[in-house]
Structure formats: C-alpha cells, structure tokens
Amino acid sequence: MNDHSSEAVAEGRPSVGAELARSLDEAGGRRPRGRDVRALGRLVPFARRRWPDAAASLVFLISSTAATLGLSGAVRLLVDHLTKARSEHATPGAINGWFLLIGAVALALAASSALRYFFVTKLGERVVADLRKAVYAHILTLDPKFYLDNRVGEVLSRLTTDIQIVENLLSTSISVALRNLLTLVGALAMLVVVSPRLTGLVLLIFPVVLAPLFLFGRRVRRLTASTQDQFAGAVGYASETLDALETVQAFGREAAAAEGFGAAVEHSFRTSLRRMTARAIMTALVIALVFGGVVAIFWLGVNAGLKGDMSWGALFQFAFLSVLAAGAVGALGETWGDVQKAAGAMERVADLLDAQPTIAAPPNPVPLPTPSRGELAFEGVTFAYPGRPDLPALRNFSLHVRPGERVALVGPSGAGKSTVFRLLLRFYDPQSGVVRLDGVDLRQADPGAVRARAALVAQDSPLFSGPAADNIRFGRQDASAEDIRAAARAAQAEMFLDALPEGFQTAVGERARSLSGGQRQRLAIARALVREAPVLLLDEATSALDAENERLVQQALDSAMEGRTTLVIAHRLATVLKADRIVVMDEGRVVEEGDHATLVKRGGLYARLAALQFEAA
C-alpha cells in the first residue's frame, strides 16, 4: 500500500483505488444482462451484406465436414476388405485401391479445409471491419448528452477491446465451432445408420455432457461482461488522467493516479480470474464426460464385434465416428466459452449501436434558403442542460442578429453566452421558444445543414496531429491548396506555416502542441475561414493570448468577420469595441444592448464590468 492509501485508511477514508473499484462495480451492476447469446444476432445483417463469402464459407464447411465423415466410410471399407483378403489369402495389391480411396478423400479434406478456413476467416474479418465502421460512424452522430453519461475512454474501449473479442470469435472460434457442429450432426446421423442401438446410448449421454455447457456458460458470460465493464471504466479513468497529464504532474498526483488505475485493473483481473476458473471447470467436465462415455460405448461395441453382431469394419467406423463426435463436443465446450465471452462484448457494442441521438433531422426537413443570408433569431428561448432541469441556462431569451451584423455577447461567467452557441449549432434543442436561421426553425431543419452554415473558433480550438494543411482542410474537405493558402494568409498564419520544416505539410503533433497558443488560434481561424460559412462564431478566441499574439489574432479575426454575420463571446471587453452591437447577458437573459459608449453612459452591468477591466488595465 502506498502513502496515499495509508493516509486514506488512517483517516477512515476509502483510497482512490477502492473508490474507483466500487464505482466500476456499480457500473457493471447497473446494466441488465441477458441469459443467452442473442446479442450475436446483431452480426447477421453484416454477414448478409457479404453473402458471396458467406455462401462460399457454407459450401466449404459442408464439403470439409463431408470429407471428414467420408474418411470413416473409407476406413470401414478398408477394414472389411482387409479381413476378407486375409480369409481368402488375397495378394497385397488387392487393397491398394482402398488406400488410394483414403488418399483421395484426405486430399479432398485438405483442399476443402483450406478453403473453409480462408472464406470463414475472410467473412469474419470483413464483418468486423464493417462493424467497426458502423459503430464509429454511429457514435459520431451522438449528441453531447450521450457523452455526459458515458466517458470517451469507455466508448473507445467498446470500439477497440470489445470488438477485438468479437473479431477473435469470428476469425478463429466460429470456424472451429461451425466445423465441429456440422461434424457432430453428420457423425450422429451416420452412427444411427451403423448401429442404432449403440447410437441410442450415445444420445443418452448427451444431456449429461451439455449440462455443464449451459450451467457454467451463463456464469462465464456474466463474468465476461462484468470484466469488460470494469476494464472500460479503467480505460476511461486512464484517458482522463493522460489527457490532463500536465495537471496531474503539477499537483504531484502521479502516484494516486497510478494507484487508481492499478486498482481498477486488478479489480477487473480478479473478475476475469473467476471467469477463467468457471470456464476451466466447464471444459474439464465436458471432456471427462465425453471421453468417459466414448470408452464405455466402445467397450460395448468390441463385445458386439466379438459376438459377430457387427463387422469389424462397422466397429472401426463406429469408433471413428464416436471419436469425431466426442472431439466435436469437447471442442464445442471450449469454443462455447469464446461464444459467451463474445456475446458479452457484443452486448456492450450493441449498447452503442442502440444509443439514439436526441438531436436528429426530422423525417422531412425544411431546406434552408439559398443563398444564405446569415440571419439569426432567438424567440423566447428557455433551456436547461440535461441533469440540471431546475437551473435554466437561458430564461425567456430573445435576440435578433441581422445579416452581416457583428454582435458581441458579454456578461459574467454562467450568464448563458456559450449556451447560445450550442443552441445555434443545434447540439441541443430548447425546452421552449424557437431558434431560427434565415427564418427556419432549427428543429425543422437538418442539423448537418445548419452546422454547414456556421464556422466556430473556440478559446481552445482542438487541432489534429496531421499536417497543418489537413487541419485547415478539415473546415472544408474539397478545399484546394490555393484555398488553404488564402485562408492561412487571411488568418495571419501563412508566414509561420511556411517557416515550418515541411511548410504546410508539417505534422503539428497531437493537439498541435508543437505550435504556440497564438499559432494554434490562427490555424483554427484559417480552418474557419476556408469553410466560407455565412455565420462566424467566436468563443473567447483571444482570451488566453499575450498582447503580441492577441494583436495578430485580432487582425485575423477582423479579416474573418468581413461580410459574415458574427457572434463574439468575450470576457475581455477590449476585444468587442468594434462590434456593431454589444448584448449584455446575466442569468440567461438580455439585460442591456447598445454600443460601448452608450452602455458605459447607462451605468449598468456593462459599465461596472468595463470599469473593473479598464481601471485594472
């Protein structure tokens, strides 16, 4: 136990690891679990789309099984002719043809098995690739409300670890399971033909053999799902701490973070250990029962052969088929654990696929006018965030922004300024009132069409690890190299981008940490400019910059605002002096409107904010 745990125990507090482990337990216990493998049925539509590979897999599964069972018939013919040749004193050459027959069946088995493996594995990999794409495309459509309830790390765990478990099933275990299932069915059918009496005894053993599969299989699946839930929670915790690594190190919390993650991983491991124990017991019981039954039945068969009740060839065929059937059941017992594990993983993936965005296009969306005027309107809007219904962020909020107008939103923290942007981008819908773009109620429009008409520059605009040119092109996919350079020039970014080792093609690293704060902001402005959107949203775009960088970025913003309807959020009032209109917000309402001079003379909230800032300056 490290120092952090010791202190927690001494004070009667649970340690970081214990707290996290308990929260993971609760997360695993909250989600209801089914008792079967129906979750894997979600893969059927993906397989149906790849029907040529599915059909080829089925053909070669059947042919390889038929060749395997055909070997038993060839062995029976060989043994019967061996006994006949010995009694008739035939020459060795009389049985060469039967060995050639066995060789031909073996070659057919080899070829069909190879093709079975190829097509089944190809189908599995293809289905998983399609599943990954479908899940990722779907989670990109989910709105912010979903991510209030689900950490990004947990979602990524489902997208990677859980789908990897499904991939292992489809690319390996499913091939073994289907082959053994067909072998079992075919072997039982042939056993009935060879000796109905002995086959009846075999069937009597089956319920005893299958019981451990179902009894332990359910427990294996529940423990698998719980393990994956707990591990996803650990990944989510790690994602949060790594994302804030500098803060963790600055506060000296490396040991506590490591303890928390380590405890979560150990908790997941202990659950996984219980799963492995249950699966091991299940496998041992199945194999013991299967082969114990085979030995007993084979003993009866030998006695029947000695009495002359069946030929030695038939006895060999029965033994061969019994071993095949027993091996198939034993293999199914082992792969059943993989099926249960994959079912638990697929259930978690299905949760993602089933998640529905609360913001979606209506069945018949109203088209936005073309060309866009960039006119914005809030009419009596009241909105509260999910989970905070008693604390509205906007209260009967009304605002009209004319095409091409520059409007600044100012006010204390929590006044609702950023909420205005979120409603304009239709990340949320208001509980009452209407938000309009070019006269169209946003709830009646396609969210994609709405967002295509706006460009956002935030205080800390996220950038991506690829080349600088790709970061700018992110604003408009079809932007040409000339468009990208023109946007960078207007954003005061062309000079520093040309100075990079590979110019515009220089990779800027994760979150563009190789660039300074001012350079990142100018790159974000270039991304907004290349979008050529009629509405520009600036959310504290210069608040974290020094004076020199703020001057450069402000020049870029002045260029960006030309000819566009612009909404600016700023705490630093010096950045909004050029606005056509300043809207002062407090507690989700508009309390004042006007230009800087008018509002200062009025002596209200804006005048007090201005006095505080400009006197301090």
Q: Where does the chain hold its CATH 3.40.50.300 domain(s)?
A: 365-453+567-617
Task: Specify whether the CB–CB gap between 349 and 162 falls below 8 A.
Answer: yes
Task: Name the band, by pLDDT with cuts 50, 70 and 90, for residue 248.
Answer: confident
Distance between start and end Cα atoms, the chain: 51
Which residue intervals of 89-195 are DSSP H helices? 96-139, 144-149, 152-157, 163-168, 174-194
The pairing of strands 581-586 and 406-410 is parallel
Mean pLDDT of 528-549: 78
Q: Which of 223, 440, 195 is nearest to 318 (CA)?
A: 195
Average pLDDT over residues 405-432: 89
DSSP characters over 46-87: HHHHTHHHHHHHHHHHHHHHHHHHHHHHHHHHHHHHHHHHHH
Express as a percent the part of the chain with pLDDT over 90: 8
Strand order in 432-437's β-sheet? 394-401, 376-383, 432-437, 440-441
CB-CB contact of 535 with 568 (8 Å)? no
* Mean local confidence (pLDDT), 506-511: 80
Specify the pLDDT at position 124. Answer: 85
Torsions phi, psi of 140, nearest 5?
-70, -20
Residue pair 590/583 in contact (Cβ under 8 Å)? The answer is yes
Phi and psi, residue 373, nearest 5°: -90, -25
Instruction: State residue 107 phi and psi, 5-degree precision.
Output: -65, -40
CATH code for 16-354? 1.20.1560.10
Encoding tokens for residue 263? 């405890």
Task: List, by residue range, all CATH 1.20.1560.10 domains of the chain.
Answer: 16-354
Q: Which residues contact 452 (CB under 8 A, 6 or more apart)?
A: 533
Is-above-0.75 flag for pTM? no
Ranking 164-173, 375-384, 395-404 by mean pLDDT, the lowest is: 164-173
State pLDDT tens for residues 436-493: 999 999 999 988 889 889 888 887 778 888 888 998 998 888 888 899 998 888 888 8
pLDDT at 383 exceeding the cut of 90: yes
Instruction: Provide the CATH topology of domain 365-453+567-617.
Output: Rossmann fold (3.40.50)
